[in-house]
Structure 1
């Protein structure tokens, strides 16, 4: 039977709750992604152009924010799910650093975001570009914004993990 792990980054708890539900539905293990420097509520004020999150998200496409070196060993998993908030239309820059640090070759990868106002198209493109930069041979599933119970359940059932 295929093994699945859900990795997630959550600054406010919203993505954590979605990740826990996804993990339950997939009977998956779960682990949190930790930034080297945790975010404060002041860092997340998107109304202020000078806040940390705003500055980070406006970096060039190859911008990265480092994550702690505590990611789980994914070698025993067939399926990897990565959950993240959507900031300025894309995943937080630490998701690219996470993907850089994981050996995703031969894996099925699915990503999801949480947002009350943004779709997943730009986030999907961002993830696909990071996969390509790493030259991973990975089956990248279509991601989605999980902003309701029905969206979450529909997306999980669409994954068709082996």
Structure 2
């Protein structure tokens, strides 16, 4: 059985840009939460049904948990990016083309990470705004847009991977 070669792949400019954008989103949502914190009630809606009605309530600290979850997802993607040789590749992976496969995998991770951080940041902002009665909560279409973006991204990079010789 062929063992994938261990190659260190430097981050591309695009990956650095994604990471900087993610960090800006984290800082932005934390600053927004700090600004809005005094206006938030102690009990906020933390779950909505498909008709966008609140059906579960909890502490306003829930929003911090949502932001923490977002950071943990970001860190998880960042961690697995360091081990592209552990991913599942087609049998045509060789020492000669491994770098191209790894770069493709890392770009896929970077895009999915960015899309996930954007979604969870918007979700956090929507929780804050909904709790402060500034706007309605994001409907199910936001979730569907995120899922579609993820599917399109993964399919795009799978097609790119098929072109690697």
Which one scores higher on RCO, CA 8 angstroms, separation ≥ 6? 2
> TM > 0.5 between the two?
no
* Bigger fraction of residues in strand: 1
Greater gyration radius: 2
Which range, TM-score by smaller chain?
under 0.3
Report the TM-score, using the length of structure 2 for normalisation.
0.22
